[in-house]
Amino acid sequence: MTITPDPAQGIHPYPAQTTIGRASVADGPGGPRHAAGGPGHRDTPGGPQTTAGTAARRRSRETRLMVALFLGPALVLLLVLVCYPIVYTLWLSFRSGDGSRFVGFDNYIEMFTSSNTRRAILNNLVWVIVAPSVVTTLGLIFAVLTERLRRSAVLKAVLFMPMAISFLAAGVTFRLVYDENPDRGVLNAAVVSVHDAFVSPSRYHGVDAREQGELVPMNDGFQSRGPVNPGEPVRLALVGLPPDRIPTDAKPATAPTGGPGLQGVVWLDFSRGGGGRAGTVDAGEVGLPQMTVEAVADGGTVVATTRTDAAGRFAFPNLTSGPYVIRLPADNFTEPFNGVSWLGPTLITPAVIGAYIWIWAGFAMVLVSAGLAALPREALEAARMDGANEWQTFRHVTVPLVRPVLAVVLVTLTINVLKIFDLVYVLAPESSQDDATVVALEMYRVSFGGGLDYGLGSALAVLLFALVLPAMLFNIRRLRRDS
Amino acid sequence: MSHTTIGTVPELMPAGTARGGRPRPGPWIRFMMRFGKALLRLLAVLIGVFWLLPTFGLAVASLRSSADNSATGWWTVFTAPAQLTLDNYAQVLQNERIVESLWNTVLITVPSTLLVVLLGALGAYALAWLDFPGRDWLFVLVVALIVVPVQVAIVPDARIFRALGIYGEISAVIAFHVAFGLPFAIFLLRNFFLNIPRDLLEAARIDGAREMVIFARVVLPIGWPAIASLAIFQFLWVWNDLLVALVFATSDNAPITYALREQMRSFSSNLDTIGPGAFLSMLVPLVVFFAFQRYFVQGVLAGSGK
């Protein structure tokens, strides 16, 4: 159950083949064909030279037939369904949306100016800058981590598994992870509970002052309608707290009995089942405990702060000369934090990139692991003998030695990211697709998703093709150099 | 000054001792020496759990009723495991749309894979071992086509398929997958076939064996590991595809990815269909993953440049 591609068995130079055949052709002491001195030598392989010319000619006719038979079907498919369409798309990109007339570079101009396609190009740029580098870095970290653990096969399997499932399944998975409702999306559930651990949620959000009561709204909180003097009990009536949010420790409200200083009560002026008069503390009405109450002096400065008790009472025994304005500050009533809108317009691209990282980190890890396994042990030993610590060894020996592998991973991921389509299409809700769109997705939306503008769609396809062109040339150059 | 590092040269630094005037390592280093491995293991476990969490969450959600899913999070199963039920799966397996689309996925994937392997192997053999003018140029062309994005071809190919009268049919989807699978298949297999010892082929040829026989009896058996990796990569590529199906298949011929994507329009209310459906669609790739892990890894690594 090991997941490490063993360079010594199976198809050999696999890691190299991700960006096409670095070692594959020239692998071994000269590919067999090259050892024989290039093409054309097969008919005289040092075998019987006595074969007559007619036989050779028959043989060559037969070979031509064989070539047609062997290569024909593949070639036809490639020419008809891949090569010809490239030319056709290029042609379409200079024509109007329905292909009826020549429009010059209009589609290309529109591509770089219209807001949706520009958004797509910019988003793709963000993708290319962020995703490959983060994935490669994580892959390196995971590879080093698993290398240092003895039983790492399970972790490797877990990290690599997302590669097996479709972008659609991954998109479904992350729709759930990113769900905005903290009772459904695990990420928001975590964010909310962390948030609430630091900022305790208010108990009384959404309540209102009793009309005609002694409270008026003020800066998201409430304050007494006018200044009050010590000795006059203050009755602060609130309404609109649903029964299930009444604190369990709340006791029946009691009107202040009088005492030193400024006293009052904050209560829910609502009797269940009706009855009770507005503005008076009736039987069956509960006090609102743990409410912050401030006494504000004439100049607007807060001179005292207290909290209500279980029956909703509060007292400022030291305030003897008034008047004061009593205020219930806004933090009693702050709306609860409902989590982050991950799939909303602002965060959608980072959110989709997050899912992409989840999918591809294992891929990078496996490639880097193979690279690490091939490192010369002596170099590491020597560095350690010279007194380099782990970090120094990693930074100055390991990383430079695996740099070629890291480059391969980066290039591979860059090509992959340029073509990213399914994940964005599935994970971004309809309402965020304009903000999440990338070139490949926009090409589809413009051409098939209702727009039917084949001209603009083809221009986007040509752009995509142009962007992967360097990778194509890189592959060909490598091939030529190797053979 | 201290030469002590985490876990290295232990023979020079027995735990807790300071010999030969060497300064006793600082508390941080001593801590790391003792607990470094444990910390790494803990980190590994945390990463593993973190990576499993999304899939696990979807799995649990797919096993809860839609009422439960809209009321509470899937993580509440830890305290109330009685919520788990197979009802969603039973429903989805009754859902004709989903079952048919799963079957369509099979109908698309199996022929696409077989054809790519067969045509790819034949072409690769010709490019590796038959002599004809222009062979090297042809191979360069094949290599160039590997990275071509499918977007460049979908509009023209839609017209070609329409002209042929197969637009919307499963055969159109297959044809497109085969055409775009071939460049990589040929490239991969040709390089592998080149490493077959020349003597083996020559011996067979001198014995008068036909090319077809050499191909079937010599090349295919030896090329088996490469063919297996290619087949697995191609299989997953097609099984997991969405774009090609969206463009070329009508709704009747839609594979599972297409059918599930339709349900995504209202994600939370359709979660009881989407969750099980997504899991059913993952089943085959996951079995392939665990059953053929080595070929799978090689296949994915080899084909990722596409």
Which amino acid appears at position A376 of this protein?
Answer: P
The rounded distance, in Å, linking the Cα atoms of A316 and A231 is 11
Q: What is the pLDDT of residue A25?
A: 32
Give B97-136 pLDDT, tens digit per residue.
889 999 999 999 999 999 999 999 999 989 988 888 888 8
In DSSP terms, B150 is beta-bridged to none
Q: What are the strands, taking DSSP E only, across A114-261?
A: 208-209, 215-218, 221-224, 234-239
CA distance B217 to chain A (A): 15
- Give pLDDT tens digits for B191-212: 888 888 888 877 777 776 677 7
Give me the residue from B131, B192, B265 closest to A11, CB to CB: B192
Provide the shortest C-alpha distance from residue A374 to chain B (in Å).
16
Instruction: Output the CA–CA distances (angstroms, integers) from residue B45 to A136, A253, A362, B284, in the order listed.
Output: 21, 52, 15, 27
Check: CB of residue A412 under 8 Å from CB of residue B229. no
CA of B21 vs chain A CAs: smallest distance (Å): 17
H/E stretch holding A222 reads: strand A221-224
Among A86, A155, A472, whose Cβ lies nearest the Cβ of B48? A155
Look at chain A and count its residues.
483
pLDDT at residue A55, rounded to an integer: 64
Mutate to test the interface with B, among A81, A156, A367, A462 (most CBs of B within 10 A): A81
> How far is the alpha carbon of A109 from chain B, nearest alpha carbon, in Å?
19
Burial of A400 (0-12, 13-18, 19+ CB in 10 A): exposed
Give the Cα separation of A166 and B191 in Å (integer): 28
CB contact under 8 A, B191 and A24: yes
Give the pLDDT score at A202: 73
Across the interface, whether the CB atoms of A66 and B130 are under 8 A apart is answered yes
| Complete edge-to-edge strand list for the sheet that includes strand A221-224 | A215-218, A221-224, A325-328, A292-296, A302-307
Alpha-carbon distance of B186 to B181, in angstroms, equals 9
| Cross-chain residue pair B282–A14, CB shorter than 8 Å | no
Q: What residues does B94 pair with on adjacent strands?
A: none
Of the two residues B220 and B111, the one the predictor is more confident about is B111
pLDDT tens across B57-102, in order? 988 988 988 888 878 888 888 888 878 888 888 888 888 888 999 9
pLDDT at position B302 is: 66
Cβ pair B44:A176 closer than 8 A: no
Sign of the dihedral defined by the CA atoms of residues B142, B148, B152, B157, in that order: positive
Inter-axis angle of helices B293-303 and B224-239, to 10 degrees?
A: 70
Q: How confident is the model at residue B50 (pLDDT cuts 50, 70, 90)?
A: very high
**Inter-chain CB proximity B155 and A92 less than 8 Å:** yes
Note down pLDDT in tens along chain A; length 483 residues: 334 443 333 333 333 334 433 333 333 333 333 333 334 344 444 444 445 566 666 667 777 788 888 899 999 999 999 999 999 999 999 998 887 888 889 889 988 998 889 999 999 999 999 999 999 999 999 998 888 887 788 888 889 889 888 899 999 999 989 988 888 888 888 888 887 777 766 777 778 888 777 888 887 788 888 888 887 788 888 888 887 778 888 888 887 776 778 888 888 888 776 667 777 787 778 888 888 888 888 778 888 888 888 888 888 888 877 788 888 888 777 777 777 888 888 889 999 999 999 999 998 998 888 888 888 778 777 877 777 777 778 888 888 888 888 888 898 899 899 999 999 999 998 888 889 999 999 999 999 877 788 999 999 999 999 999 988 888 888 777 776
* β-strand pairing of A325-328 with A221-224: antiparallel
B11 vs A contacts (CB less than 8 Å): none
Distance separating alpha carbons of residues B289 and A411, to the nearest angstrom: 25
Q: Which chain B residues contact residue A475 at CB under 8 A?
A: 143-144, 146-147
Among candidates A387, A425, A476 on the partner chain, residue whose Cβ is nearest the Cβ of B144: A476
- Choose, out of B68, B76, B155, the residue to mutate when testing the contact with A (most A CBs < 10 Å): B155
Residue in B120, B187, B246 closest to A21 by CB:
B187
Q: What is the pLDDT of residue B32?
A: 65
Condensed to tens digits (0 to 9), the pLDDT of residues B285-301 reads 888 888 887 777 776 66
Amino acid occupying residue A139: G
Give the tokens for residue A219: 């800066």
**pLDDT (tens digit per residue) in B156-189:** 999 999 999 999 899 999 999 999 999 999 998 9
Confidence of residue B303 (pLDDT cuts 50, 70, 90): low
- What H or E segment, with its residue span, contains residue B70? helix B66-71
The pLDDT of residue A396 is: 83
What average pLDDT does this structure show over B226-241? 90
Dihedral class, residue A387 (left if φ above 0, else alpha if ψ from -120 to 50, else beta): left
The answer to whether the Cβ–Cβ distance between A472 and B289 falls below 8 Å is: no
In a 10 Å sphere around its CB, with 0-12 CB exposed, 13-18 middle and 19+ buried, how is residue A117 labelled? buried
Nearest-Cα distance to chain A for B34, in Å, is 15
Is the Cβ pair A465, B149 closer than 8 Å? yes
Count how many pairs of residues, chain A against chain B, have C-beta atoms within 8 Å.
Answer: 356
Q: Are B92 and A3 in contact (CB under 8 A)?
A: no
- Global pTM reads 0.78
Q: Find the closest chain A residue to B192 by CA distance.
A: A11
Check CB contact under 8 Å for B135 and A462. no
What pLDDT sits at residue B8?
33
Shortest distance, CA A238 to any CA of chain B (angstroms): 30
Mark yes or no for CB contact A173/B71 under 8 Å: no
Q: Could you give the CA distance from residue A398 to residue B81 in angstroms, rounded to a whole number?
A: 47
What pLDDT, on the 0 to 100 scale, is given for residue A383? 79
Show Cβ contacts of residue B8 under 8 Å, excluding neighbours closer than 6 positions. A384, A390
B41 closest CB neighbour out of A66, A149, A158: A149
User: How many CB atoms sit inside 10 A of residue A396's CB?
Assistant: 12
pLDDT score at A182: 80
Using CB atoms, which residue from A74, A158, A176 is nearest to B119? Answer: A74
Cα separation of B121 and A155, whole Å?
35
pLDDT of residue A37: 37
Q: Do A169 and B268 touch (CB under 8 A)?
A: no
